[in-house]
Chain A
Amino acid sequence: MAWFGAALLFLLLSLTLALGGAVGPSDWSRGVGLAGVHLFTLGWLCLAMLGALIQFVPVLAARPPVLPVLALPALLAGIGGTVALATGFLWLDGHEAVRGAFLVAPVLLAVAFGLAAAMIVPLLLVRASHKLAEVQLALVALAALWASGAAMTYNLSGIDLMPAFLPDGLGLHVLLGVAGWLSLAAFGVSYTLFAMFLLAPEGGAALRLAVRLAAGLTLGLILLAGMLLLVQGVVPAVLLWCLTALLPAVVALYLAEVARIWRLRRRADPEGNMRWSRVALAFLGLAALLAGPALWLGGRWAEAAIFVALVGWLSLLTLAQMVKIVSFLTWIQVFAPLIGRAPVPLVHHLTDPRATTRWLSLWGGGGAVGGLALLLVQPLVFRLSVAALLLAALGLGAELVAIRRLSHLDPQKRPATLPPVIFPAPDKRSAHDHARTA
């Protein structure tokens, strides 16, 4: 919950900056713009994804969490690193005082990622290696993403670690972040989450293997392109052609696998989180279609493709599942101890599906309009879409707080004490407390 809470605050902050004019069509490279972009990608999406992995990889691997004591330091380093990086970017706009923050950000982020990896990687190695293979690839991409980001940070500060990397490395940095780390991690987690929420069997070995191989190949080529850029200073066209073909192919294979899970579901009417995940998947398909023009033409095509992937695909998926996950975990936390001892409500009684639908549609609409505005270079329309996104994020944030406070529940059904909204409550029940009322 603390990861999700921090991520949501960064989301609101980044959208506020964007609404204030930090970014716009073909206007992303000012310091304040880069700060806004990184508050969104690193603060919101990356922290939410790390929090989700730390929470769910033990569940998916059916193993107890490894070194849970590292979670808080990892989160604090992640928050610190994000704030330092965002503040540090202002140095590009001439704020000399914040150069130190710029230099310390990669160090803090290395600590955050390293601690998170220490919690996640041992679980990936024991059993779930075949189930969560995409998450392993995603963590490789995260390491490369950090390295390329750190190289650019020090490069901008005048410390030339990898001279060729700027500005040519920017495209690879973006690819590693959007397609490599965030999308692959989302792929890996979504199979199991979708199967769980749709009551569908997992499996589908052939398609899943195809996704894994194609994704591994794509990531390998991106890394190869990065190395060639360092050594020769240029990425050969043949590599770009391969990526142009592979990126949509990976997405098509993944969508086919999700469609297979969807067809085999035993739950006739999927809940809101899954309906909105379908919209997110449509945005993923759109981003894949834009990938080719983005790689070759850059400019507004690249802006639109990246925006659609970050806002429409990754953020909508995260927001839709976050509502479901927060309500489920809150239910477990509050009502699992009461089962059989007191009447317990249903999980969906903790939520307000109408409010959730309202805010998620606003988010989806904002994403679609924003992408279009970038493609057509319409700054005013883009600004309006950001306003819609901010409003939707505020609404969803309020809805999540309401779920944590059990506000949608009939007051008589609410227990006397509620868990803290964000931080985990210390578990007061000892393992020897076997009190039963029966």
Chain B
Amino acid sequence: MITPAPLDLDVRPQLARGEEPFAAIMSAVDALAAGQALRLVAPFRPAPLFNVMANRGFACSDRQLPDGAWEVTFTPLDAAPPAVGLAPGSAPGAMLWPDPSQSLDLLGLMPPEPMVRILEALLDMPPGAVLFALLDREPMFLFPELAHRGHEWAGNYAPDGTTYRLMIRCGD
């Protein structure tokens, strides 16, 4: 079987214009032929993207280019990546958020205690900061409240299904 040549995508011009490259990356991913890899060039190492792409069934390898930019190659692990990525409702740009400035382990807490802890923690965080929380299950009642308060979120179940990982970016 012939492996198709990787699809090249350079998101530096887009980022230089201040645009979010997420949509372009995702449409590039969707446009990949079976077995085709995606070669992404970005001005920084897009670490959050690795997890997202791993969830879509891509392995990744990265290297720094001589001009300081990063080249990341996402190679499909098999022809049919699993459909499970981020939960519906997740913010599409989450992969480009900064690293979480605060983490909460909320396992074993009775609802609605996790919701109370998360919303209270967000009050003390500056706009744009990211909170990471580990939960027993998807906090369905929290999401509308986050939206009302102007926060963005992205989350999914860990591959073994026992914990739910949630990132929240504090609203402006």
Binding site for B on A (CB under 8 A): 58-59, 62-64, 196, 199, 201-203, 266-267, 328, 331-332, 336-337, 339-340, 344, 347, 429, 431, 433-434, 436, 438
CA of A429 to CA of B146, assembled, Å:
13
Count: A-B pairs, CB below 8 Å: 58
Assess the B148–A196 pair: CB atoms within 8 A.
Answer: no
With contacts A62-B138, A266-B108, A438-B124 taken as known, whether A336 is within 8 angstroms of B147 at the C-beta atoms is: no
- Chain B positions 111-131 with a Cβ under 8 Å from a chain A Cβ: 111-112, 115-116, 119-120, 122-124
Assess the A199–B110 pair: CB atoms within 8 A.
Answer: yes
Assess the B112–A347 pair: CB atoms within 8 A.
Answer: yes
Residues of A within 8 A of B137 (CB): 196
Assess the B111–A431 pair: CB atoms within 8 A.
Answer: no
Contact with A along B78-122 (1 / 0, CB 8 A): 000000000111000000000000000000101110011001101
Assess the A339–B115 pair: CB atoms within 8 A.
Answer: yes
B123 to chain A, nearest CB (A): 4
Assess the A438–B108 pair: CB atoms within 8 A.
Answer: no
Mostly, the B contact residues are: loop
CA of A64 to CA of B136, assembled, Å:
20
Assess the A436–B112 pair: CB atoms within 8 A.
Answer: no
CA of A433 to CA of B149, assembled, Å:
7
Residues of B within 8 A of A64 (CB): 88-89
Assess the A196–B123 pair: CB atoms within 8 A.
Answer: no
Residues of B within 8 A of A434 (CB): 148-150, 171-172
B153 to chain A, nearest CB (A): 13
Residues of A within 8 A of B150 (CB): 434, 436
Binding site for A on B (CB under 8 A): 87-89, 108, 110-112, 115-116, 119-120, 122-124, 136-138, 140-141, 145, 147-150, 161-162, 171-172
Assess the A267–B110 pair: CB atoms within 8 A.
Answer: yes
CA of A172 to CA of B133, assembled, Å:
50
B1 to chain A, nearest CB (A): 32
CA of A62 to CA of B120, assembled, Å:
24
Assess the A429–B120 pair: CB atoms within 8 A.
Answer: no
Assess the A332–B108 pair: CB atoms within 8 A.
Answer: no
With contacts A203-B161, A266-B108 taken as known, whether A337 is within 8 angstroms of B122 at the C-beta atoms is: no
Residues of B within 8 A of A62 (CB): 87-88, 138, 140
Residues of A within 8 A of B161 (CB): 202-203
Instruction: Show 6 A/B contacts (Cβ-Cβ < 8 Å), sorted by A.
Output: A196-B111, A202-B161, A267-B110, A332-B112, A434-B149, A438-B123
With contacts A340-B119, A340-B122, A434-B171 taken as known, whether A199 is within 8 angstroms of B136 at the C-beta atoms is: yes
Q: Which of B87, B123, B138, B162: most chain A Cβ within 10 A?
A: B123
CA of A433 to CA of B151, assembled, Å:
11
B73 to chain A, nearest CB (A): 31
Residues of A within 8 A of B162 (CB): 201
B74 to chain A, nearest CB (A): 25
With contacts A331-B112, A340-B119 taken as known, whether A433 is within 8 angstroms of B148 at the C-beta atoms is: yes
CA of A199 to CA of B123, assembled, Å:
27
Assess the A337–B87 pair: CB atoms within 8 A.
Answer: no
B162 to chain A, nearest CB (A): 6
Residues of B within 8 A of A438 (CB): 123-124
B6 to chain A, nearest CB (A): 32
A48 to chain B, nearest CB (A): 21
Residues of B within 8 A of A431 (CB): 147-148
Find the B residue at minimum CB distance from A200: B136
With contacts A199-B136, A337-B148 taken as known, whether A332 is within 8 angstroms of B141 at the C-beta atoms is: yes
Residues of B within 8 A of A336 (CB): 112, 115, 119, 141, 145
Find the B residue at minimum CB distance from A202: B161
Give 7 closest A-B pairs by Cβ, nearest first: A434-B150, A339-B119, A340-B123, A438-B123, A59-B140, A340-B120, A336-B145
Find the A residue at minimum CB distance from B117: A339
Find the B residue at minimum CB distance from A195: B137
Assess the B120–A339 pair: CB atoms within 8 A.
Answer: yes
Find the A residue at minimum CB distance from B140: A59
Assess the A328–B148 pair: CB atoms within 8 A.
Answer: no
CA of A344 to CA of B145, assembled, Å:
15
Find the B residue at minimum CB distance from A56: B140
A65 to chain B, nearest CB (A): 11
Assess the B116–A344 pair: CB atoms within 8 A.
Answer: yes
A122 to chain B, nearest CB (A): 14
A95 to chain B, nearest CB (A): 48
Residues of A within 8 A of B124 (CB): 438
With contacts A199-B108, A201-B162, A438-B123 taken as known, whether A339 is within 8 angstroms of B116 at the C-beta atoms is: yes
CA of A436 to CA of B172, assembled, Å:
10
Residues of B within 8 A of A344 (CB): 116
Residues of A within 8 A of B111 (CB): 196, 328
CA of A332 to CA of B141, assembled, Å:
8
A425 to chain B, nearest CB (A): 14
Residues of B within 8 A of A201 (CB): 162
Residues of A within 8 A of B172 (CB): 434
CA of A429 to CA of B144, assembled, Å:
11
CA of A339 to CA of B138, assembled, Å:
19
Residues of B within 8 A of A331 (CB): 112
Residues of A within 8 A of B116 (CB): 339, 344
Find the A residue at minimum CB distance from B116: A339
